[in-house]
């Protein structure tokens, strides 16, 4: 798995009440995927699946900065992933590649991970997968040689050595210091020929990935034509692929509903096509979303491991599996009467697009929570939010249940609010830690105590009104619904909120990175390894060479050394139970800091033709490509 990429105010906290009131539900997490599940025996042999992607990716090397979610999608059909995540983000060894994998126990140093490779696992040229492939990938991603163009070293920098074990099918990896997320490494695994030198590693691999080791291999790759064709790997040793070919077709969100309606696609993510339907309608002259018949461009952070925030961050794109309510039955949430006409048009276009997607003949719309969450970031480097008391009052004023209903209800999804920054509601170990920050005082009382007194319907202090600007992605209906709910929440506490829609291309570089905002609504991707992979989002900013704090990806611009230490301990903890306890402590401190407010898991909406099986909205999991295919009799 690819390690995602993901600032300063001194703060006095009452740590003795850090996790007061927190509780953990011991019931299993809810179902978190929505697939057209069919046993392999009920699938026919052959056929070509047509799968919509944003673009045929510029690189198939997922560790390069140019990699996208589509890069990862194709890479996992072509290359080994030693561990797979299930729908609850639990990692298990893939038997196609591993007979066993074991790490030394917690407390024993140095940590050594022993991989026992499946003896049948070979590259498509017949070369066995071996320690040489692990060694080359480690050197390329360790960060020791800047000639390798990668910004994703992740845990590779923690490795001290890689060597062959007892025989050619055993690999031993020794770490410099304990690394709890070791299951995230070497997934995908590239052949040594592709990573052994900077010259080969830096190639996009689109035309040079001659060797693969997955159920599929590349037949043709044409970026200009917008088509990558993958066919069965004749050297594959596992369960044979049911489909003969998978064509990944570059299809913009504006065209996906029509392409489905015209029987040009079998699988199509539709989140953005529905969320940004007004833009789609404008791009197609008003016809695409208006017809009562069958698109996506995810409107938020991609569940790829790239942890760049999504400016389309509405958070809309997945629903809990099994959600049966349609937009019509759930009842669309309309904007408040004060919402401008443009906001009403956004919501109306989204409602129409959803109804069309649900009514496309021969297709089903699958809904599940994605591996991403929408949250509200508070800029602690700008007054009045530089005052911890004000930030905590803002966070306290947010009604997460009301917001989840406003954002997810119109999409036919359960209105499940999120109470954790590090673990999702459908993830193993999830716990709502919001009580760590709530305390007994209302937002109004907190603001009164901070000197912000009621005045003419709002609040004022020293002659200044308590008015904040909320940054949202322009064109997103879900972001607009969320913003309207937030506006109502804060108004009840006497805080005036002004919504500022910003184009996606400048959302991060012009605002988040520069600190030009008060509040910002966007999404972050998450992984199954938060201890190691999400630290950068909350790390305390450190002074740069010029003395100015370097914020990195902590756009809230606030952190503490204690939170950093908790992340470091969690990253080095090999016992999963102890690791989760450290993560819960870190999350409680983040809540107390009022760094940000998690709102809801971003939805994922995927249309699948009814003749196709084992595709849909995967949540944390991903496709088992050899099980994708057409139902018997179709």
User: Would you say residue 221 lies in a domain?
Assistant: yes
Closest C-alpha to 308, from 68, 74, 146: 68
**Quick check: 332 and 480 in contact, CB under 8 A?**
no
DSSP 55-90: S--S-S-TTSTT--HHHHHHHHHHS--SEEE-TT--
Q: Is residue 169 assigned to a domain?
A: yes
pLDDT at 585 over 90: yes
In terms of Cα–Cα distance, which of 597, 526, 540 is closest to 568?
A: 540
Residue 321 has what pLDDT?
Answer: 27
Residue 141 covered by a domain: yes
User: Which tens digits make up the pLDDT trace of 528-550?
Assistant: 999 988 999 999 999 999 988 89
**Regarding predicted confidence, which is higher, 278 or 28?**
278
Predicted TM-score (pTM) of the model is 0.87
pLDDT tier at 283 (50, 70, 90 boundaries)? low
Residue 310 is predicted with a pLDDT of 64
Task: Share the mean pLDDT of the chain.
Answer: 87
Cα angle, residue 590 at apex, residues 584 and 417 outer, rounded to 5°: 75
182 falls within a domain: yes
Asked if residue 498 has pLDDT above 70, the reply is yes
| 494 exposure class (CB count in 10 Å sphere: 0-12, 13-18, 19+) | buried
Of residues 513 and 438, more confidence is placed in 513
Confidence label for 281 from pLDDT (cuts 50, 70 and 90): low
Q: Are strands 112-117 and 170-175 parallel, antiparallel or unpaired?
A: antiparallel
Q: What mean pLDDT do residues 89-105 have? A: 96
CA distance linking residue 149 with residue 141, whole number of Å: 9
452 inside domain: no
- Rounded to an integer, what distance in angstroms lies between the CA atom of residue 136 and that of residue 195? 6
**pLDDT for 455-473, tens place per residue?**
888 999 999 999 999 999 9
267: its two tokens: 């699988």
Model pLDDT, residue 555: 98
Handedness of CA 258, 264, 267, 268 (dihedral sign): negative
CB 383 within 8 A of CB 454: no
Using CA atoms, how far apart are residues 367 and 426, in angstroms rounded to an integer? 14
**CATH number, position 76:** 3.90.76.10
Report the number of distinct structural domains present in the chain: 1
Instruction: Classify residue 139: in a domain, yes or no.
Output: yes
**Is residue 245 over pLDDT 70?**
yes
Query: pLDDT over 70 for what percent of the chain?
Result: 85
Extended beta strands in 379-426, E state: none
Instruction: Please state the rounded mean pLDDT for residues 33-41.
Output: 95
Question: Per-residue pLDDT averaged across 73-84, rounded?
Answer: 97
In this prediction, what percent of the chain has a pLDDT beyond 90?
78
Residue 103: CA count within 13 A, CB half-sphere: 23
Please state which of the ranges 277-286, 394-403, 565-574 shows the lowest mean pLDDT: 277-286
- Per-residue pLDDT band for 437 (boundaries 50, 70, 90) equals confident
Assess whether pLDDT exceeds 90 at residue 25. Answer: no
- Residue 549 maps to a domain: no
Is the separation of the CB atoms in 446 and 363 below 8 Å?
Answer: no
Whether the Cβ atoms of residue 260 and residue 332 lie closer than 8 Å to each other? no
CA distance 628 to 610: 13
- What is the tens place of the pLDDT at every residue in 308-357? 676 543 433 322 222 222 222 223 333 344 455 578 999 999 999 999 99
Domain that holds residue 165: 55-247
Which has the minimum average pLDDT: 9-18, 194-203, 267-276, 580-589? 9-18
Which 3 state secondary structure label does DSSP give 504? helix
Residues whose CB is less than 8 angstroms from the CB of residue 456 and which lie 6 or more positions away in sequence, other chains included: none
In a domain, 303, yes or no: no
CA-CA distances (angstroms) from residue 260 to 52, 254, 284, 459?
Answer: 10, 12, 15, 51
| Cβ neighbours of 138 (radius 10 Å) | 21
* pLDDT score of 295: 28
Interatomic CA distance for residues 521 and 311, integer angstroms? 8
**Is a pLDDT exceeding 80 seen at residue 286?**
no
* pLDDT recorded at residue 136: 98
Partnered with residue 51 across adjacent β-strands are 248, 267
């Amino acid at each position: 798995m690819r390690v995602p990429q993901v600032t300063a105010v001194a703060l006095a906290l009452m740590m003795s009440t850090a996790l007061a009131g927190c509780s953990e539900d011991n019931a299993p997490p809810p179902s978190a995927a929505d697939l057209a599940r069919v046993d392999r025996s009920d699938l026919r042999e052959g056929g070509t699946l047509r799968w919509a992607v944003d673009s045929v990716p510029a690189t198939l090397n997922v560790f390069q900065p140019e990699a996208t979610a589509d890069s990862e999608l194709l890479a996992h059909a072509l290359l080994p992933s030693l561990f797979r995540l299930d729908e609850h983000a639990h990692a298990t060894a893939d038997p196609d590649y591993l007979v066993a994998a074991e790490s030394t126990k917690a407390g024993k140093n140095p940590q050594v991970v022993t991989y026992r490779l499946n003896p049948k696992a070979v590259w498509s040229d017949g070369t066995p997968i071996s320690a040489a492939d692990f060694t080359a990938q480690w050197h390329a991603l360790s960060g020791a040689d800047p000639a390798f163009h990668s910004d994703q070293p992740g845990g590779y920098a923690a490795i001290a050595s890689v060597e062959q074990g007892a025989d050619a099918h055993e690999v031993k990896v020794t770490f410099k210091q304990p690394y709890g997320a070791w299951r995230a490494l070497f997934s995908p695994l590239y052949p040594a020929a592709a990573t052994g030198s900077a010259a080969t590693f830096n190639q996009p691999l689109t035309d040079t990935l001659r060797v693969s080791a997955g159920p599929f291999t590349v037949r043709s790759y044409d970026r200009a034509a917008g088509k990558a064709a993958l066919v069965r790997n004749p050297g594959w040793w596992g369960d044979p692929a049911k489909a003969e070919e998978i064509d990944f077709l570059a299809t913009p969100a504006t065209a996906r509903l029509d392409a489905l309606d015209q029987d040009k696609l079998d699988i199509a993510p539709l989140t953005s096509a529905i969320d940004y339907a007004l833009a789609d309608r404008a791009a197609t002259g008003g016809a695409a979303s208006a017809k009562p018949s069958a698109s996506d461009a995810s409107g938020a952070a991609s569940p790829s491991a790239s942890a760049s925030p999504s400016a389309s961050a509405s958070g809309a794109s997945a629903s809990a599996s099994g959600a049966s309510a349609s937009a019509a039955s759930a009842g669309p949430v309309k904007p408040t009467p004060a919402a401008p006409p443009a906001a009403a048009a956004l919501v109306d276009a989204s409602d129409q697009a959803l109804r069309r997607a649900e009514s496309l003949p021969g297709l089903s719309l699958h809904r599940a929570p994605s591996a991403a969450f929408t949250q509200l970031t508070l800029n602690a480097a700008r007054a009045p939010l530089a005052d911890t008391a004000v930030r905590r009052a803002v966070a306290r004023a947010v009604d997460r249940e009301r917001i989840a209903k406003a954002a997810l209800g119109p999409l036919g999804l359960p209105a499940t609010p999120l109470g954790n920054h590090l673990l999702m509601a459908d993830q193993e170990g999830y716990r709502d830690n919001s009580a760590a920050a709530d305390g007994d005082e209302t937002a109004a009382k907190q603001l009164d105590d901070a000197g912000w007194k009621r005045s003419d319907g709002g609040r004022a202090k020293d002659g200044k009104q308590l008015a904040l600007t909320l940054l949202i992605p322009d064109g997103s209906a879900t972001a607009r619904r969320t913003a309207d709910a937030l506006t109502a929440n804060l108004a009840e506490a006497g805080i005036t909120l002004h919504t500022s829609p910003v184009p996606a291309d400048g959302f991060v570089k012009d605002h988040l990175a520069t600190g030009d905002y008060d509040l910002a609504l966007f999404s972050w991707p998450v992984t199954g390894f938060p201890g190691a992979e999400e630290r950068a989002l909350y790390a305390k900013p450190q002074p740069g060479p010029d003395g100015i704090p370097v914020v990195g990806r902590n756009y809230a611009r606030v952190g503490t050394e204690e939170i950093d230490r908790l992340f470091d301990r969690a990253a080095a903890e090999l016992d999963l139970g102890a690791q989760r306890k450290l993560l819960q402590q870190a999350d409680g401190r983040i809540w107390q800091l009022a760094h940000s407010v998690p709102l809801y898991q971003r939805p994922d909406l995927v249309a699948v033709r009814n003749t196709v099986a084992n595709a849909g909205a995967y949540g944390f999991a991903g496709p088992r490509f050899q099980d994708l295919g057409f139902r018997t009799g179709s």
